[in-house]
Amino acid sequence: MSGMRLPGWFAERAEPAPPESELRVSTIELFFDLVFVFTVTQLTSLVADGIQEGRPLEGALRVLLVFGVLWWMYAGYAWLTNAVPPVRPARRVLILLGMVGFLITALAIPSAFDGDGPAFAVGYLLLILVHAGLYLQSTAAIARVIPFNLGGVALIGLAGVVGRPYDHLLWGMAVLLLWGSPYFIGQKGFELRAGHIVERHGLLVIVALGESIVALGIGAQGLHVGPALGVTAALGLALAACLWWIYFGGDDETRAEHILAGAEPVRRTRLVLGAYFYAHIPMLLGIVAVAAGVKKAIGHPIDPLKPGAAVILAAGAALFLAGSAWFRRVLGIGGNRLRIAGALAAPVSVAFGLWSAMAQLVVLVVLVGAVAVLERRPAAAPSPVRASAPVR
C-alpha cells in the first residue's frame, strides 16, 4: 500500500529510492543510538543498585521489564529509518525529537518503579507519536502497530499511578502486548533492506560494549590504581573484547546480509524479527549484566563477590553466548555447539566469584575466549581416499 500524501517540505525527494546496497546507517542514526545506549547504562546502574541493596532478583526483573519496552521502540526506529531514510531536515528534526523521548525515559529509569513511572510513560508516548508520524510516510501497515504501542504505554502509565504490588504486573503485561504483537499484526507491508538492518544492529552492539567499558571506569572512580585494580580492569576489557569477537570475529554479518537479501519480503521480515529483535534481547541483556558484574568486581577485585553479583556476571556471559547461538540458528548459520556449551558452562564461574572477583573474571575470559578461538579453527582436512578393491 502506498504512503500517505504529505506536504512537499516533509516528504521524500521525488527521486528513486537508493538501491538496497547503497542504504547505509546515517550519522544521525548513530547519534540516536548513543542516546538509546544511555538507557543501557541506566539499566546497568539499576542492576548494580539491586545487588547493593540485597535484592538482585528484583533488580534483574525490573531491568527485564524496562529493557523490554525500550527495545521494542528501538527496533521500531531501526525499521523506521530503514523504510524512511532521514534525508530531509524535517525528518531529522523529528528523529531528534524521538531522541528526547528516549532521554526522558532514560532519566526516569532509576525511579521508574518508585514515582517516576508517569515521566517514563510521557517519554515513551513521545517516542510512539514520532515513530508513527514518520512511518506513515512509507506504509499504512504501521497503522496496525499503533494500537499495540498505545496500549503498552497506557499500561506503563497506569503502573505508575497504582504502584505496588500491581506495577510489575502491569509492566509485564505491556511487554507481552508489545512483544507478542507481531503474531497478531502479521509481517506483510514491512519491506526491509538487509544491509541496513545488519549494519545498524552491529553498530548498536559495538556502542553497547563501549558503554560497558564506561561502566567499568565509573566503578573505578575514586579508587587507587594499584596492581589488583589494573589487572581487574584489564580482565573486564578482555571480557568485553571476547564478546566482541564472538559477534564480529567471523563472517556472520556478511552471511546474515546475504541470507536476508535472498529471502522474499515477508520471510525476510520474519527472519529480521527472529534474529535481530528476539535473539538480540539476550545478547544486549548479557552486556548489561556483564557490565554490572564488572562494575562490582572492580571495587574489591581480590575479595569475594556477593552471590547476586557473581550470578549476574556469569549470567551475562551465558546470555550473550546463548543469544548469539539463537541468532545464528534463526538465520540457518550452523556450528553453534561451542556457544551453547559455553553458555551452559558459564554458571560454573560463580563458584570462583564467591572466592575472588578477579578469579571469576579470569575464568570467564578463558571460557568465552576459548569459544571464540576454537570456532575459528580451520576444518580438519579430509583424509585421503585409499584405493580399494572393487566390491563384488
CA–CA–CA angle 283, 287, 293 (5° rounding): 140
Confidence of residue 142 (pLDDT cuts 50, 70, 90): confident
83 lies in the same domain as 63: yes
Number of domains in the chain: 2
Considering the domain boundaries, does residue 9 fall inside one? no
CA–CA–CA angle 360, 366, 369 (5° rounding): 130
124 lies in the same domain as 259: no
> Is residue 2's pLDDT more than 50?
no
State which amino acid sits at residue 119: A
3-state DSSP of the chain? CCCCCCCCCCCCCCCCCCCHHHCCCCHHHHHHHHHHHHHHHHHHHHHHHHHHCCCHHHHHHHHHHHHHHHHHHHHHHHHHHHHCCCCCHHHHHHHHHHHHHHHHHHHHHHHCCCCCHHHHHHHHHHHHHHHHHHHCCCCHHHHHCHHHHHHHHHHHHHHHHHCCCCHHHHHHHHHHHHHHHHHHHCCCCCCCCHHHHHHHHHHHHHHHHHHHHHHHHHHCCCCCCCHHHHHHHHHHHHHHHHHHHHHHCCCHHHHHHHHHHCCCHHHHHHHHHHHHHHCHHHHHHHHHHHHHHHHHHHHCCCCCCCHHHHHHHHHHHHHHHHHHHHHHHHHCCCCCHHHHHHHHHHHHHHHHHCCCHHHHHHHHHHHHHHHHHHHCCCCCCCCCCCCCCCCC
Distance, CA of 88 to CA of 84 (rounded, Å) = 10
351 lies in the same domain as 206: yes
Range name among 5-14, 18-27, 111-120, 299-308 with the lowest pLDDT average:
5-14
Range of the domain at 105: 25-185
261 lies in the same domain as 343: yes
Cβ contact 347:314 at 8 Å: yes
The pTM score is: 0.85
Confidence of residue 325 (pLDDT cuts 50, 70, 90): very high
Considering the domain boundaries, does residue 328 fall inside one? yes
Considering the domain boundaries, does residue 381 fall inside one? no
Considering the domain boundaries, does residue 342 fall inside one? yes
pLDDT, tens digit, 9 for 90 and up, residues 83-133: 888 888 888 999 999 999 999 999 999 888 888 889 999 999 999 999 998
Cβ contact 209:336 at 8 Å: no
Considering the domain boundaries, does residue 20 fall inside one? no
Tally Cβ neighbours within 10 Å of residue 390.
Answer: 4
pLDDT, tens digit, 9 for 90 and up, residues 332-390: 998 899 999 999 999 999 999 999 989 999 999 999 999 999 988 765 344 444 444 43
205 lies in the same domain as 236: yes
Indicate which CATH number applies to the domain containing 246: 1.20.1410
278 lies in the same domain as 363: yes
Q: How remote is the C-alpha of 185 from its chain's centroid? A: 23
| Structural domain ending residue among the three candidates 185, 214, 233 | 185
Whole-angstrom Cα Rg for the chain: 23
Tally Cβ neighbours within 10 Å of residue 261.
Answer: 14
46 lies in the same domain as 149: yes
212 lies in the same domain as 247: yes
Task: Give the pLDDT score at 7.
Answer: 53
pLDDT, tens digit, 9 for 90 and up, residues 83-94: 888 888 888 999
